[in-house]
Amino acid sequence: MAETQAEVAFGVILKQGGALIGSAYSDYGLEITSITPPGFTRAAIGATHMASPDGWGEAIMSSIKEQKPFSVEFNWIVGNTGDVKTAMEGVMTFWSIEFADGSSVKTNLGVSDFSPGSLTPDGKMTASAEFTPSGEPTWA
């Protein structure tokens, strides 16, 4: 059996660019504890008709592809909440998820949700943010 090609996620960084393609990216400064990169989806369109073979439903695939929203969980530094709020109120900008091996995914995103975690006497403060993508991502 061949050796695994699995990699660890330690070292992943989320960077924000500008509103224009080719903008410089800078580390957004989140202490990320978990990140779920954007996936892809394409709708199946029902195409069943009165004479579908043996009464089985039929479908065709849409030509429209979309990215799924992605989420980030991080250590919540209350004093930095204004930065997330500013990003949420702004226009979509380009962001980059940079992996430890040097590869990345860059896409146009808007912050669509921010949620602080539960606050407990002996627990660390956490929060999560959801990003809604637009357009085609660039994997490099």
Tens digits of pLDDT across the chain (140 residues)? 899 988 888 999 999 887 666 678 888 888 999 999 889 999 999 999 999 999 999 999 999 999 999 999 999 888 777 677 777 777 888 889 999 999 999 999 988 898 988 888 888 999 999 999 999 998 88
Instruction: Report yes or no on 132 lying in a domain.
Output: yes
Q: 103 is in which domain, residue-wise?
A: 13-34+68-139
Q: Indicate whether 110 belongs to any domain.
A: yes
CATH number, domain with residue 21: 2.40.30
Question: pTM for this structure?
Answer: 0.79
Q: Whole-angstrom Cα distance, residue 27 to residue 133?
A: 19
Residue 41: inside a domain: no
Cα 79 to Cα 51, 106, 111: the distances in Å are 63, 27, 18
Check if the beta carbon of residue 139 is closer than 8 Å to that of residue 105: yes
**Total domain count, the chain:** 1
Within-domain flag for 23: yes
pLDDT score for 119: 86
